[in-house]
Chains A and B, each alone.
Chain A
């Protein structure tokens, strides 16, 4: 493990847009997290667990790589 912080980007905002402007609340309810957590993910303040990432990808019917992108490590 390096000293930097792993940075995982996501396309959740875009995916919600293309899913008929699905609300954060609806996505949160379908994934089983809070709306605040969806908001934090969209703003890049939180990287979800693998399980939640898979659940989000499943909601949109895509692979996990299409929803989340690993951007390497950023130094703190």
Chain B
């Protein structure tokens, strides 16, 4: 029976929490897809080939985000019998966004700095390019995850 209030708690989340969940899932999904793609086919023979795949990843991320928010809206509308509408931000939203952004920025900048290591060690630049691309994705994941934690735990 404890499932009912937990389910309600999830459905009762605000628009910003749903946005964070969708962003988190879509970014994780794209990173996993890229990792599997790189593991199966390598980074590609040319920088152009790698850049093309990364551009597709950006397109996929945008599309998944849009579809994810539509699905979240439909799910919430079915359960709550009203649409999921964005509320104006208040001081708590601003504080959570500031804290989460700081975490996301730290992850992005750390990974971007780490991307220089393979270059310094003389590896192919494709690895560094891939790392530079993944850095903001990982930062986005950290940002969205931190937002969820701050919204749910405080």
Q: A and B: partners? A: yes
* Contacts from A to B (Cβ < 8 Å): 32-37, 40, 43-46, 48-49, 52
With A36-B14, A40-B154: A46-B92 Cβ-Cβ less than 8 Å: yes
Residue of A nearest to B88 (CB): A34
B88 surroundings in chain A (CB, below 8 A): 34
How many contacts between A and B, using CB within 8 angstroms?
Answer: 37
A33–B91 contact, CB under 8 A?
Answer: yes
B154 surroundings in chain A (CB, below 8 A): 40, 43-46
Interface residues on B, range: 10 to 19
Q: Give the contacting residue for B90; candidates A34, A43, A44, A45; CB below 8 A.
A: A34
* Contacts from B to A (Cβ < 8 Å): 14, 16-17, 87-93, 151-154
A46 surroundings in chain B (CB, below 8 A): 92, 154
B153 surroundings in chain A (CB, below 8 A): 45
A36 surroundings in chain B (CB, below 8 A): 14, 16-17, 87, 92, 151
The docked-state distance in angstroms from the alpha carbon of A48 to that of B93 is 12
With A34-B14, A36-B14: A49-B91 Cβ-Cβ less than 8 Å: yes
The docked-state distance in angstroms from the alpha carbon of A34 to that of B87 is 7
Q: How close is B97's CB to chain A, nearest CB, in angstroms?
A: 13
The docked-state distance in angstroms from the alpha carbon of A33 to that of B16 is 14
A40–B92 contact, CB under 8 A?
Answer: yes
Residue of B nearest to A47 (CB): B154
